[in-house]
Amino acid sequence: MPTLIDRIKRYASGPQGRRMRAKAERYARDPRTQAKVRQLLARLRGGGHRRH
């Protein structure tokens, strides 16, 4: 029985996995997405607004 990692590797190397990877790379290059990630990291690090 293939392990979860083996199944992920097989999916990633197939055509659908390559398409998903390309889509993720485009999404990661988008300045709006980068801004959202920076905001999230700032909140997680305690740099965002806190509710009391």
Calculate ∠ Cα 34-12-31, nearest 5°.
10
Q: Which pLDDT score, from 0 to 100, does residue 2 have?
A: 86
Q: Which pLDDT score, from 0 to 100, does residue 51 have?
A: 60
Q: Which pLDDT score, from 0 to 100, does residue 45 have?
A: 94
Q: Which pLDDT score, from 0 to 100, does residue 50 have?
A: 58
Calculate ∠ Cα 35-37-41, nearest 5°.
120
Residues 2-44 pLDDT 10s: 899 999 999 999 999 999 999 999 999 999 999 999 999 999 9
pTM of the predicted model as reported, rounded to 2 decimal places = 0.58
First to last CA, the chain: 50
